[in-house]
Every structure is written in structure tokens, then in C-alpha cells.
Chain A
Amino acid sequence: MFESHLLSLITLAPAVAAIGLGLIPGRYERLVRWLAFGISLGIFFTSLLMWMVFDPSMGGMQMVEKADWIPQFGIEFHLGVDGISLLLVLLTTLLVPVVIAASWTSVRDKVKAFHICLLLLTTGMVGAFLALDVFLFYVFWEFILIPMYFIIGVWGGARRIYAAVKFFIFTMAGSVLMLVAILYTARVHFETTGIWSFDYFVWLETASQIPMGGVWSPQMLVFIAFALAFAIKVPMFPFHTWLPDAHVEAPTGGSIILAGVLLKLGTYGFLRFNRALFPEAWEKAVPVIMVLAVIGIVYGAFVALVQPDIKKLVAYSSVSHLGFVMLGLAAGTISSTQGAILQMVNHGLATGALFLLIGILYERRGTLLIADYGGIATVVPVLTGFFLLVTLASIGLPGLNGFVGEFLILAGSWPVAPAAVVGAGLGVVLGAVTMLWMVQRVFWNPLSHEENRGLRDMNFREVATVLPLVLFIVWIGVFPMTFLAPMEAAVRLLLE
């Protein structure tokens, strides 16, 4: 009973908990924080249980649950997990308690509402990763926008309203066309079989029956509608302009979720829907995706290089890192795809940890400008140590997680597209320069600002918050097979 409903438990428990949290009077802030933390931790342990139950030798969906939702339309509440979504769900449920702990002192206003938003967001994210009904996926996908809009807009920085509206309109504009594409595909299925279905497995057969031809053929247009929604979310060059604004204005917790999970929804969507449903159209689009990915890698790194603001710098480097993921997916070999999936997790861990540490700095000093820091390594040695470790992970130092992902992507893409790999290699170097130069200007160099002399180092809570992320960063770096093994069968199945 318990195991057979594990997935809906992980998906729906946060939303139910959010409603429960709503009933507690807002003045019991500590109670709200502890409850939300306990719930999110419980959900994380439940998803660890899911990992234990999961059978890594099988490539197909496991623990599948199915219930009628809108029977007149063949829409079902249909969940399942394979090796790809397993890792992303684990990443999500890991980051949520981290975010709650990271916001312990930085979110002071409307504490209850913040945690309600966060738990609702968890339901949306986990649901989108686990949904096997395309319509259900769309519902979760759209639902995510609302709590995220509020997290940026209510608890964000000075230009938060602009950033929140921009985030909302950009993502919404991208995803409405996906709705048309979904309805169109459902119609094609209805016309050939006479029944309504949004079932992912059914669609694996149907989607390729949509007439295929040039760029304006129906299948290409449906493909583009899906791709546009995901490309904005990733974000791929040239749809990335909302990301720096959203990151800079979002509170620390919001940035962690945004970089850690939301962007992965885009790359996950590319793999799960564009790649798997429309292999023929995918083949045609690969050159375009590759070019955009490489432009994103190089452009993101270059723009990051000149940013005066730490958060903006990390945001642009995210554009660059997600370019790698897209390159790995576009190359489409087993190892490049595995690398891309691992890199999604890596980026979530490393960038999440970076935003966490930046948030700690911001809380103490109230500024994110690189020029306001310098030479603080001697003042805050523990923070410096963690920051350096995470930076090195992010730029791909061997022994840490980033290396494994980037290596697999580049090595896997080489036989398919050597030119793209050369371009991306340039991006690796540039990215490293960007990040290390930033670390140098913030933590080393002479201590030029007197007010930085009194900075407090990380306290126990902050160390405890970042430690689980660091643990996974090192684990993936040293022993990646733990994470590569469960996804291999699923990747093989998806690519063939």
C-alpha cells in the first residue's frame, strides 16, 4: 500500500502540508519554520526510500500509479519514475530543506507565506518530473509559475516586481504554445484511434504519426512549440534574458530553487518530450540546438566575465553551464546524454551551493558587488574554503562532480560534432577564468574595505546547510557510478 503510492505521496504531500501550514496562525514563526523543515526533510527521506525501492537494472517506468482524473478526455493522474527522473526528484527534495534552512534568518517577512509557496513549488516540481500524462505534466509545469512568481516578487530585492513579472510573462508566453501542441497531438491520436489519450506511452507511438516534412509541417511546428517552452525555461540563448534579472532579484532560497531545479525542467522537457516523442524532428533540429548551445556556452561565459555583480555573474555562468547540458542532449550518444543528465544534477548542486554562500555573504554585508569585497579570506576562512570548493566543482576540477559531467558530455559529443566540442572547450576555459577571477577579487586581493574586517564567519547552521550539498558534490566526483548506473538503462531505452 505504502510503496504502491510512494510517488503520489512525494508529489502531493507538500501541497497538503502547505494547506495545513496555512491553518497555523502566522505569528508562530518558529513553529512554521520547524514544521516546514520537518516536512521537507520527511519528503527527502521518502524520496531516498524511492531510490532504494528503485530497480536500476530496468529502463522503463517504475512504481507507476494511475487514476482517472478527467475521464471524458482520457486525462489521468499518471505518475512513474525512471532513472532520469529519479535523480532530478532526489535533487529537488534535497534542495527544499536546504532552502528552508538557508532562509532561516534571511526571510523575516511573511514567514508562513514563504514556506507555503515553497511547499507548493515542491509539489509542482516533483509532479512535473514524475508526470506520465502529458496533460498532467502541463498542469504541474504551469502551476510552478505561481509560487515562484511570489517568491521572487515578495521576498526579492529592489527591482523584484519587474523581475517577477518578466519571469512570469516569459515563461507563460513560451508554454501556452505548448498547450496548443499538446491538444493538437491529442487530436491526431483521437482521429486515428477514436479515443482520447494524453498517456505518455501512448504518445510515444502517436507523436511520430503527425505528418512530417519541412519546417512548416505539422510535426515540426508541434516540435517547435514544445521546444520553445523548454528553451525559455533552460534558458537557451537567445531566450535567456529573464534569468539574470530573476536571479539577481530573487531571495537566496528562490535563486537556489531557480538554478537548482526550475532550469532543469527545461532540459528534462527536451529529453523527455522533444527527444523521445519526436525523434525524426529532433534529428532535423539537432544542428540548430547545437549551435545555440555552443553560442550559449561561449556567450554566457563572456558576459559573465564582465559582470560587476556576483549573482549576475553566476546567473550568466548558468547560461553557459546549461549550454553544456543542451550540447550533451543534442549530441545524443549514450555517454553524452548520461553526462548531460548528470550535469543537470551537478549544476543544481554546485550553483545551488554557490547561491547559498553568496546569500550568506549578502546577509552579512548587504551588497553583491564584487568591488565591495576583496581580501576577506582571512576574515571568513570557513566560508572561503567552501566557496572555493564549490567554485572548483562548478568549473570542473577532476575529483569533483562538474568534471565527470563535462567530461562525459565532451567525450560523448566528440564523435558526433567535433567542432561543437572545440567551441565548448573554449567555454570551459573561459568559465574557469570567470569564476576564479571572481573568487580572487572577492576573497583574495588586499583587504581594501574596512567594513569587511568585522564579517562573521559561517555559523553552525550555515555549515550544516551547505554540507549535504558538498557531500554530494564530492560523492559524484569520486564515485559517479552510484548515480550513472541507475540512469543507464533508462537512457538506453529512451535513445533507442
Chain B
Amino acid sequence: MPLEQFVPFIPEIFLAIASFVLLVGGIGLGRRGMRPLALGAVGSLVVTGILVWLFGRPAGEPEVILGGMLAIDTFAVFFKLLVLASAILTIMLATGFLERFRYGGGEFFALILTATLGMFVMASGVNLVSLYVGLELMALSSYVLVGYCKLEVKSNEGAVKYFVLGAMSSGILLYGISLVYGSLGTLDLMEIKTALVAAPQDNLVLMLGIVLMAFGMLFKVAAVPFHVWSPDAYEGAPTPVTAFISVAPKAAAFAMFLRIFAGAFSPEIDHWRSVIWLAAAMTMIFGNIAALSQDNVKRMLAYSSIAHAGYALMGVVAGTAYGTWSVLMYMLVYTFMNIGAFGLVVLLETRGYAGETVKDWAGLSKKAPAAAAGMLILLLALAGIPPTGGFMSKLYVFAAAINAGYIWLAVIGVLMSAVSLYYYFRIVVQMYLVEGEEAESGAELVRDRWAEGVVLVSVLVVMAIGVYPAPFVGWAQGGLNALGLM
């Protein structure tokens, strides 16, 4: 194997080394070293981003490296940069949070970096084995991150549920992979596609394999009915981790989803599409309706994240090039709006671990007008109201579904976004409309410059995409130049 093949792999190598350095450094520095370690982690992620830009981009046509394990294409670059952005924002959110709750930072940052490495492989893998390895690296890091606040019962509970169900879903996925391998004799996505194009099949073993793989992937994106782990894991996890696992692994899982289903399995689309259709519809309906009755804001946002996976799945159902870039666009906006919203939860978290209720937001517009305005914009974006990025991203998935002829799915989607308004606006009501004693009873904001910066960046990105989406759409469409995709 010529050494040049490793050049596009430099960012991943750097990321692995950086995570070890942070891990060891964390032992040496202890809790005092929180800020330097955080700066080191952010710095190495920024360097990774630069390395991706320098070495990880395809020179022209997409290429494969390392014996067909990884692809170097714009699709991978898009998701890698997105995942890097969410990792950086998460570390900035977590630093102050860990200080307040008196936990060390070394392992935390190292785990974020290893999870990021796993997601890099998920974004660029073109072989079921490399994809699975990336997925597991990401998942194992996330399990530990969810249980990071080891003295909190909820954190432990969330981690255990996440781990047990996550391991089970990985098993289902792996079983599906083995059935696909058994019937086609290859794990390479391109070869799978070629084989299916050459001889369209409806043998039962292959179908079962594809469906089991779909189940496994639906687990990972927390689609209904495979979502039961996510509200508990999201609520129990330290809030910065919730922000992280609600966006980055979801984005990476969608990347993998698209590579496998919109790519390799695209010749069999008529067989798997109805499964995804049903999952998308149920996810949108159940996620939004379950969120209606939540008083705990973290849990509410957890159900809202479930619902958002449903919207994004519409793009997968469409199964067109159009649907694919609409998913990319959706993940881009979703990442920033969700991290921003959880960032404000972090800032408001002054009443003990995971105890924030809707009432804690009371009177925020008086106490902290800028924070309230930021939350308002993020909630409008989550609800999909113009002129925010959330509206633009929803628009594209709806348009993709309608173009592919799935009008009723789009109808369910828009009706459910109207439902979602109700619960998002429960927070707005508390922030802006309640008065008097009720308004006084709200929680106080923490002073945390880094977390405030995260919220500001998220709000700016979400608004920029809403007001002038053209360049962002251009990037998402650019991400279509991918290996194995239709």
C-alpha cells in the first residue's frame, strides 16, 4: 500500500493523537487544567478542520483510500466540518458546565475527540466494516459521555439505557450486515450497488438484511418506534453532552444512512422505502405529540429532536438527489439550532442537575433580554417559522417529499410543525408573556462567556441561513458529489 494513500487520512491521524494527548494531559493537570485543556481541545479540532480542508478534500473526482475503506469526497467533507463545528461548540459549552459541577475535563474532551473521529469514519466510510467501526467508536464514546456526571443518578441511568439499547441496535445492524454479505458476497458499498443494479433481487434473506439494517440505523437516529432510549439518555446526560449527542451522532448517522440507503441500496428503493416512510411519519407524529406534555425542558427538547429526525427522514424517503441534499441542509441548520437551544439550557441550569422546567424561563425577557431574544429566534427556527434557517431547512425536505410524490407525508410534516409551535411557545410564553410574581420566580442566568458565545454563533448562523440561504444551499448541493450516491 503506497504511503500517499495516508495523506487524505492525516486529519483522522491527528485527531487520534490529539485525543491521547488530552487524555494524558488531563491526568497530569487535574481539575485545575480545565481551561488550558479546553483550549487545547478546541485548538486541535480547529487544526483538524484546517487539515480536512488541506488534505481531506477530493482533488477532482471522488476517490477511495485504504483499500476501499474510506472515500474522499465532498459529501464526507461536508459532514466532517459539520461534526467538527458541533464538537467545538460542545466543548465551549461544557467547560463552564464541568467547572460548576466540579468534574474534570481531560477525559471529557478526549472522548469528544474520539467520538468525532468515529463520526469522521461514518461520514467517509464506503465499506460496511469501516462504517460499523466508525459507528461503534462514536457510540462507545457517547455512552461514557452520557454517564460522565458519575455522582448523578440520572446520568448513570441514562448511560445504562443508552448503552443497553445502543448495543442491541448495533447487534441488529450487524446482523443485517451479515445477511447482506451472505446474499451478495461483498461489504463494499459500490460493489453492492453494482450487484444490485446488475441483478435486481427480491430474495428474502437480502430483504431481511436490508430491513434489519434500516432498523439499526433508525435506532441510531432515534426514529419511532426505536426511540425509547433517547428521552432518558438526553435528560440524564450532562446538558452539553445532550447538545452534542442530539446533533453530531445524528448528523453522522444520517450521513451513513444516505451512503447505505440512498447509495448502495438505491436499486432496491421500492423495497425499503415504505419502512422509512412509516418511520418518518410515526416519528414526526409521536415526537411532537409526546413533547406537548413535557415540563422538563431537556426532555421536551429531546422529544423535539426525535421529531426533527422524522423531518429529515422525509429526505431519505424521497430517495432523489434532491432529497439527499435536503437532508444535508436539514442537518446543517438542525445542528446549530439545537446546540444553541441546549446552550441556553446550560446557561439557565442553576437549580441543580437536570432540574430545569418550563417555569424556570419565566420573566427571562426582563432579566436577560438578549438571551431571551436568542432563545426566541432558536425556538422560531425549531418550529420552522420564517425568516429563520429552520424554515428554510424544513422547506427543502417538504419540497423533496412532494417532488417524489409523497404529498401526504409532507402534509403530516406541516401539520406536526403546527403542533410543535404549541410546546416551543410554552417557553416563549414564560419568557415574554407572564408577569408579576410568576415572572420573578424564574431561574437566574449563569455568567459564562464561552457558552454565551456558542449561543450567539448559533443564532447568527440560523438567521443567516434564513435570510440568505443561497450559499448554504450551494454547499449542501456541493456535498452531493459523493461516491456511490445516486
The answer on a CB contact under 8 Å between A184 and B470 is: no
The answer on a CB contact under 8 Å between A153 and B399 is: no
Task: Enumerate chain B residues within 8 angstroms of A271, measured Cβ to Cβ.
Answer: none
Is A72 on the interface with B (CB-CB < 8 A)?
Answer: yes
The answer on a CB contact under 8 Å between B429 and A184 is: no
Task: Enumerate chain A residues within 8 angstroms of B407, measured Cβ to Cβ.
Answer: 180, 184
The answer on a CB contact under 8 Å between A183 and B399 is: yes
If A165-B425, A177-B414 touch, does A153 touch B398 (CB 8 Å cutoff)? no
What is the CA–CA distance of A149 and B402 in the complex, to the nearest angstrom?
Answer: 30
State which of B414, B433, B468, B470 has its C-beta within 8 Å of the C-beta of A180.
Answer: B414
What is the CA–CA distance of A172 and B433 in the complex, to the nearest angstrom?
Answer: 19
**B-contacting 9-mer, from A140-148, A333-341, A439-447:** A140-148
Task: Enumerate chain B residues within 8 angstroms of A154, measured Cβ to Cβ.
Answer: 432-433
The answer on a CB contact under 8 Å between B422 and A169 is: yes
In the complex, what's the smallest C-beta–C-beta distance from A124 to chain B, in angstroms? 10
If A70-B470, A71-B470 touch, does A183 touch B402 (CB 8 Å cutoff)? yes
State which of B385, B392, B473 has its C-beta within 8 Å of the C-beta of A145.
Answer: B385
Give 1 or 0 for each of B459-486: 1 = CB within 8 Å of chain A CB: 0000000001110011001000000000
Is B386 on the interface with A (CB-CB < 8 A)?
Answer: yes
Give 1 or 0 for each of B365-385: 1 = CB within 8 Å of chain A CB: 000000000000000100001
The answer on a CB contact under 8 Å between A72 and B474 is: yes
State which of B395, B399, B411, B425 has its C-beta within 8 Å of the C-beta of A168.
Answer: B425
Task: Enumerate chain A residues within 8 angstroms of B410, measured Cβ to Cβ.
Answer: 180, 183
The answer on a CB contact under 8 Å between B432 and A150 is: yes
Task: Enumerate chain A residues within 8 angstroms of B414, measured Cβ to Cβ.
Answer: 176-177, 179-180
Task: Enumerate chain B residues within 8 angstroms of A161, measured Cβ to Cβ.
Answer: 429, 433-434
In the complex, what's the smallest C-beta–C-beta distance from B40 to chain A, in angstroms? 38
Is A272 on the interface with B (CB-CB < 8 A)?
Answer: no
The answer on a CB contact under 8 Å between A72 and B473 is: yes
In the complex, what's the smallest C-beta–C-beta distance from B427 to chain A, in angstroms? 12
Is B274 on the interface with A (CB-CB < 8 A)?
Answer: no
The answer on a CB contact under 8 Å between B425 and A146 is: no
Task: Enumerate chain B residues within 8 angstroms of A168, measured Cβ to Cβ.
Answer: 421, 425
In the complex, what's the smallest C-beta–C-beta distance from A314 to chain B, in angstroms? 24
Most buried by A among B385, B392, B417, B418: B418
Is A187 on the interface with B (CB-CB < 8 A)?
Answer: yes
In the complex, what's the smallest C-beta–C-beta distance from A147 to chain B, in angstroms? 12
The answer on a CB contact under 8 Å between B429 and A165 is: yes
Is B415 on the interface with A (CB-CB < 8 A)?
Answer: yes
Q: Which residues of chain B from 388 to 433 have a CB within 8 Å of any chain A CB?
A: 391-392, 395, 398-399, 402-403, 407, 410-411, 414-415, 417-418, 421-422, 425, 429, 432-433
The answer on a CB contact under 8 Å between A153 and B432 is: yes
Task: Enumerate chain A residues within 8 angstroms of B399, measured Cβ to Cβ.
Answer: 73, 183, 186-187
The answer on a CB contact under 8 Å between A160 and B415 is: no
What is the CA–CA distance of A147 and B190 in the complex, to the nearest angstrom?
Answer: 51
The answer on a CB contact under 8 Å between B422 and A180 is: no
Q: Is the interface of B mostly helix, strand, loop or mixed?
A: helix
Is B453 on the interface with A (CB-CB < 8 A)?
Answer: no
Is A34 on the interface with B (CB-CB < 8 A)?
Answer: no
Is A173 on the interface with B (CB-CB < 8 A)?
Answer: yes
The answer on a CB contact under 8 Å between B418 and A153 is: no
The answer on a CB contact under 8 Å between B470 and A69 is: yes
What is the CA–CA distance of A6 and B271 in the complex, to the nearest angstrom?
Answer: 55
Closest to A143 in B: B386
Task: Enumerate chain B residues within 8 angstroms of A71, measured Cβ to Cβ.
Answer: 470
What is the CA–CA distance of A72 and B477 in the complex, to the nearest angstrom?
Answer: 9
Is B387 on the interface with A (CB-CB < 8 A)?
Answer: yes
What is the CA–CA distance of A493 and B411 in the complex, to the nearest angstrom?
Answer: 34
What is the CA–CA distance of A172 and B414 in the complex, to the nearest angstrom?
Answer: 10
Task: Enumerate chain B residues within 8 angstroms of A283, measured Cβ to Cβ.
Answer: none
In the complex, what's the smallest C-beta–C-beta distance from A224 to chain B, in angstroms? 12
What is the CA–CA distance of A200 and B484 in the complex, to the nearest angstrom?
Answer: 39
In the complex, what's the smallest C-beta–C-beta distance from B311 to chain A, in angstroms? 13
Is A349 on the interface with B (CB-CB < 8 A)?
Answer: no
What is the CA–CA distance of A143 and B463 in the complex, to the nearest angstrom?
Answer: 13
Closest to A221 in B: B407
What is the CA–CA distance of A190 and B429 in the complex, to the nearest angstrom?
Answer: 41
Task: Enumerate chain A residues within 8 angstroms of B411, measured Cβ to Cβ.
Answer: 177, 180
The answer on a CB contact under 8 Å between B433 and A160 is: yes
What is the CA–CA distance of A142 and B468 in the complex, to the nearest angstrom?
Answer: 17
What is the CA–CA distance of A190 and B38 in the complex, to the nearest angstrom?
Answer: 50
In the complex, what's the smallest C-beta–C-beta distance from B422 to chain A, in angstroms? 6
Is A205 on the interface with B (CB-CB < 8 A)?
Answer: no
Closest to A185 in B: B402
The answer on a CB contact under 8 Å between A164 and B473 is: no
What is the CA–CA distance of A103 and B392 in the complex, to the nearest angstrom?
Answer: 35
In the complex, what's the smallest C-beta–C-beta distance from A101 to chain B, in angstroms? 25
Closest to B394 in A: A179
Is A139 on the interface with B (CB-CB < 8 A)?
Answer: yes
The answer on a CB contact under 8 Å between B470 and A187 is: no
Q: Which residues of chain A from 94 to 140 have a CB within 8 Å of any chain B CB?
A: 138-139
The answer on a CB contact under 8 Å between B473 and A173 is: no
Task: Enumerate chain B residues within 8 angstroms of A149, measured Cβ to Cβ.
Answer: 425
The answer on a CB contact under 8 Å between A172 and B418 is: yes
In the complex, what's the smallest C-beta–C-beta distance from A23 to chain B, in angstroms? 13
Task: Enumerate chain B residues within 8 angstroms of A55, measured Cβ to Cβ.
Answer: none
In the complex, what's the smallest C-beta–C-beta distance from B323 to chain A, in angstroms? 13
In the complex, what's the smallest C-beta–C-beta distance from A210 to chain B, in angstroms? 12
Task: Enumerate chain B residues within 8 angstroms of A180, measured Cβ to Cβ.
Answer: 398, 402, 407, 410-411, 414
Give 1 or 0 for each of A153-164: 1 = CB within 8 Å of chain B CB: 110000011001
Closest to A15 in B: B387
The answer on a CB contact under 8 Å between A169 and B418 is: yes
Task: Enumerate chain B residues within 8 angstroms of A160, measured Cβ to Cβ.
Answer: 433
What is the CA–CA distance of A149 and B421 in the complex, to the nearest angstrom?
Answer: 12
In the complex, what's the smallest C-beta–C-beta distance from A377 to chain B, in angstroms? 36
Closest to A109 in B: B435
What is the CA–CA distance of A184 and B398 in the complex, to the nearest angstrom?
Answer: 10
In the complex, what's the smallest C-beta–C-beta distance from A20 to chain B, in angstroms? 16
The answer on a CB contact under 8 Å between A146 and B432 is: no
If A70-B473, A72-B474, A139-B387 touch, does A187 touch B402 (CB 8 Å cutoff)? yes
Give 1 or 0 for each of A63-74: 1 = CB within 8 Å of chain B CB: 000001111110
Closest to A26 in B: B369
What is the CA–CA distance of A245 and B155 in the complex, to the nearest angstrom?
Answer: 45
Task: Enumerate chain A residues within 8 angstroms of B380, measured Cβ to Cβ.
Answer: 146
What is the CA–CA distance of A70 and B403 in the complex, to the nearest angstrom?
Answer: 18
A-B contacts besides A69-B468, A168-B425, 17 pairs, CB < 8 Å: A68-B470, A70-B470, A72-B473, A138-B386, A142-B391, A149-B425, A154-B432, A154-B433, A161-B429, A161-B434, A169-B418, A172-B421, A173-B418, A176-B417, A179-B398, A180-B407, A183-B398
| Chain A residues in the interface with B (C-beta under 8 A) | 68-73, 138-139, 142-143, 145-146, 149-150, 153-154, 160-161, 164-165, 168-169, 172-173, 176-177, 179-180, 183-184, 186-187, 190
| Chain B residues in the interface with A (C-beta under 8 A) | 380, 385-387, 391-392, 395, 398-399, 402-403, 407, 410-411, 414-415, 417-418, 421-422, 425, 429, 432-434, 468-470, 473-474, 477
Q: Nearest 7 A-B pairs (CB), nearest first?
A: A176-B414, A139-B386, A153-B433, A173-B418, A183-B402, A172-B418, A72-B473
Q: List 26 A-B contacts (CB under 8 A).
A: A69-B470, A70-B470, A72-B474, A139-B386, A142-B391, A145-B385, A146-B380, A146-B385, A153-B429, A153-B432, A153-B433, A161-B434, A165-B422, A168-B421, A168-B425, A169-B421, A172-B418, A173-B415, A176-B417, A177-B411, A179-B395, A180-B407, A180-B410, A180-B414, A183-B395, A190-B403
